[in-house]
Structures are given as C-alpha cells and as structure tokens.
C-alpha cells in the first residue's frame, strides 16, 4: 500500500474531525447500550414499516420512483460499493485516480419521500487503498453519517437515517483530514427527498415530470510535469501530494459533467421529446455553478434544492452554491439540440462543463422562424 505524505495542517484538520467523531460515536454507543453491532436503536415503529430494495442506476439516469407517494413511510434500502479507479477526463490524455460511489462520477442519485427511512449498505471494495465514509447533507447528526460509516478496504457498514427534510441534497465522502481531496476525486452524489404529495409550484399546484436526468458537476485538479504534460500515478495515494498542490491554487484543470469532457454529448446526450416535462437535478459538491439551458428556460427552479421553499419561475440561469444540489423542471417546446451548460462559459467551453439534450418533435414556427436566410448583404 502506498504511503501518503500529509501536512501538519491536514493532520490538525483531521484531529479536529476525529475529535468530533469520537464524541459522536460515544454518544451513539451510549444510546445503544444493550444492543449488539447497532450504534443507534431503532424507533419503536421502524421494524413494522414495509421495506423496499432499490437498485441504483448510473447517472444521468435515475432509478424508478413515484413522484407522489402512494403509500405511507417505508424503509428504502440502497447498496453502494466504493471503487477507486483511474478515469480519462478528455482526449488530451488527462487521467485521474477517482474515488467513486458505485464506480461513477457522480455517484448515483437516490430518491425517497419525506418521512421514509434511508438504509444504506456501504461497501469499501477490498481492492481499494483508502478508508472512506459518507456524509449525507440530508441527514441529521453524526456529521451527516460520516462518523458512523468509516470503512476500511474489505469492510462494509449499514447506516439508517430518517429523511425529514424535502429537497435535493449532496452526499460525499468526508474522511478526517482529507475531505477536500476525496470530494474533488469524484466521491460525491445526490439524494432527492420528495414531498409525499409531490412537488408544488408557487401557487401550490402540482409540478409533475415525465423523466429525470442527474447531472453531477465535478472540478478536477490534474498535476503536470515540468514540460507541461499530464502526470500519471500508479495509485491514489501516490497522486495525493501533487494533486493537493494543484488544489490549493483553487484553479481546476477540468470542470466537467458526469466525470469527463463530453460525457453527456454525442451518443451519450440526454434525450427527450417535444411536450415532455423533464426534471434536471444538478449537484456541485465543491464549487459554485450557474446552470443554463441554451434555447430553453427553467420553468420551475429550486436553485438551492429545498422543496419547502417555493420555486422560482421562468429563469434563464440559476445559481447553485458549492456543496448544494438544485432542481429545474422544463417542458420542451421545440425540437433540436439544446446545450445545457455552466454559464461560466470558460468552464463550459474550455474546461468541459457542457452537455446536450436532443429533443425530437415538430417545429413550431409561431415560437421561432427564420424570416430571411443568411445571404449577401446588398
């Protein structure tokens, strides 16, 4: 196993987090006195709730779910395996050791309803090098679950929390002293907690959708050698010191959607039809972003992703702060190729934060038409 070179600042930051972890574990263990292998005792009614196992799917797609709950609260079971893998970021040869949930950047989108219990089995693959955990921004207590989910390679754990706040939320790895490195290594995703009666517009009327796409925006920091060539490494640990040096410049080498430049363009473009209503979940675990749909609009936008707040309507661009997930809902009115971008256009067109939505259907001349085609000016 590769040894890591860790700075004093990192050690101190890790010590602060570790101190919090110790207190959390002690409190949880005290609450669970008399229980074996379970830190937090179940509420009296959890054991009687129905259970459903959900198979997660790779982004930008999302597992089947009900926009409006047809039953009462349930225990929703998920399983994710942590995989450390080398990924290619673009066609220039830039490679990166990614730490991933289920092998993808971002990790899968989970969907539950307010009042459900999320029960996650988290597995750290035995072939991995590093310890990992998970911090759910949607969860209450224990550093979002990070204090109760530290798993070494070859270990697994089970975490359960009640989804009490409706919205879309980021989750990410947060190991003591190395939070930033793990997050910018791709180890983040999102969870959507829907109101049991579904989404509502500003007037309280239902907001429905036909499909959901999940876009995870990721900043990467790839080191270069003295001649400007991308550096490569044999393991995540070997890359650590050089990557952190680039990270501290606060200048990413890549800002991409779903793990690579062009990951959501061409054959991998998202697809829709005229008249379809599409929900776009967009997360950025580290940096601010400004999504914009070129040729369309945000009909209903929860930019900070919290459904107890009324959505904004008819937006051209919306602002998602770093460490947040947002939701935009749009009904496509014209066919064609739409560009979905971070409207920091340098990041979109020079660093990679761009995607395509290919929409089929009939053109509406009333909305737009070419009155005179380009020709020589006379």
Q: Which string of DSSP letters, residue by residue, matches 131-166?
A: -B--EETTS-SGGGGGGG--B-TT-EEEEEEE--S-
110, 119, 137, 347: the catalytic one is 137
The one-digit pLDDT tens for each residue of the chain (378 residues) are 444 544 434 444 454 455 555 555 555 555 544 444 444 455 558 999 999 999 999 999 999 999 999 999 999 999 999 999 999 999 999 999 999 999 999 999 999 999 999 999 999 999 999 999 999 999 999 999 999 999 999 999 999 999 999 999 999 999 999 999 999 999 999 999 999 999 999 999 999 999 999 999 999 999 999 999 999 999 999 999 999 999 999 999 999 999 999 999 999 999 999 999 999 999 999 999 999 999 999 999 999 999 999 999 999 999 999 999 999 999 999 999 999 999 999 999 999 999 999 999 999 999 999 999 999 998
The CATH H-level (homologous superfamily) assignment of domain 8-32+49-195 is Cupredoxins -  blue copper proteins (2.60.40.420)
Dihedral over alpha carbons 257, 262, 267, 272 (to 10 degrees): 40
Pairing between β-strand 199-200 and β-strand 188-194 as defined by DSSP bridges: unpaired
Task: Report the distance separating Cα 19 and Cα 3, nearest Å.
Answer: 23
**Domain spans in the chain, listed from the N-terminal domain onward:** 8-32+49-195, 214-360
Q: Can 292 be counted among the known catalytic residues?
A: yes
Task: Report the distance separating Cα 207 and Cα 279, nearest Å.
Answer: 10
Q: What are phi and psi of 329, to 5 degrees?
A: -120, 130
**Helix, strand or coil, per DSSP, at residue 17:** helix
CA nearest to 220, candidates 203, 199, 239, 196: 239
Q: Can 65 be counted among the known catalytic residues?
A: no
Element (H, E) at 216: strand 211-220
Domains 8-32+49-195 and 214-360 share a fold: yes
Q: What kind of architecture, by CATH, is found in domain 214-360? A: Sandwich (2.60)
Q: Can 316 be counted among the known catalytic residues?
A: yes
**Helix, strand or coil, per DSSP, at residue 157:** strand
CA nearest to 118, candidates 170, 56, 163: 163
**Cis check: omega of the bond before 315, within 30 degrees of 0:** no
User: What is the number of residues in the chain?
Assistant: 378
Q: Can 135 be counted among the known catalytic residues?
A: yes
80, 110, 173, 178: the catalytic one is 173
CA nearest to 46, candidates 25, 68, 75: 75
Q: Can 317 be counted among the known catalytic residues?
A: yes
Q: Can 187 be counted among the known catalytic residues?
A: yes
197, 241, 316, 360: the catalytic one is 316
Q: Can 182 be counted among the known catalytic residues?
A: yes
What's the token pair of residue 14? 């890790």
């Amino acid at each position: 196993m590769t040894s890591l070179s860790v700075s004093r600042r990192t050690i101190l930051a890790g010590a602060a987090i570790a101190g919090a972890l110790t207190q959390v574990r002690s409190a949880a263990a005290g609450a669970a006195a008399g229980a074996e292998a379970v830190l937090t005792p179940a509420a009296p009614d959890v054991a009687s709730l129905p259970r459903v196992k959900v198979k997660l799917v790779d982004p930008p797609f999302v597992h089947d779910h009900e926009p409006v709950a047809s039953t009462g609260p349930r225990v929703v079971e998920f399983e994710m395996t942590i995989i450390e893998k080398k990924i290619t970021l673009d066609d220039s040869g830039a490679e990166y050791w990614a730490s991933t949930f289920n092998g993808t950047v971002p990790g899968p989108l989970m969907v539950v309803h307010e009042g459900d219990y999320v029960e996650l089995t988290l597995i750290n693959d035995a072939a991995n090098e590093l310890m990992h955990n998970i911090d759910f921004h949607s969860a209450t207590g224990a550093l979002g679950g990070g204090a109760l989910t530290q798993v070494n390679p070859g270990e697994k754990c089970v975490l359960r929390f009640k989804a009490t706040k409706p919205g879309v939320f980021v989750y990410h790895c947060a190991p003591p002293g190395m939070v930033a490195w793990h997050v910018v290594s791709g180890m983040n995703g999102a969870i959507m907690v829907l109101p049991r009666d579904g989404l509502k517009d500003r007037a309280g009327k239902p907001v429905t959708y036909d499909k959901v796409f999940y876009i995870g925006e990721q900043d990467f920091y790839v080191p270069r050698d003295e001649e400007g060539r991308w550096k490569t490494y044999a393991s995540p640990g070997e890359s650590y010191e050089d990557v952190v040096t680039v990270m501290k410049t606060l200048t990413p080498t890549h800002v991409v959607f779903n793990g690579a430049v062009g990951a959501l363009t061409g054959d991998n473009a998202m697809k829709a039809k005229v008249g379809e209503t599409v929900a776009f979940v967009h997360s950025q675990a580290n940096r601010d972003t400004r999504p914009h749909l070129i040729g369309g609009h945000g009909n209903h936008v929860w930019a900070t992703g919290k459904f107890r707040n009324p959505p904004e309507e008819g937006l051209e661009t919306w602002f998602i702060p770093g460490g947040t997930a947002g939701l935009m809902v749009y009904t496509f009115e014209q066919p064609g190729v739409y560009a979905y971008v971070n409207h920091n256009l340098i990041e979109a067109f020079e660093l990679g934060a761009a995607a395509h939505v290919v929409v089929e259907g009939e053109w509406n001349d009333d909305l737009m038409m070419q009155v005179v085609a380009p020709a020589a000016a006379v």
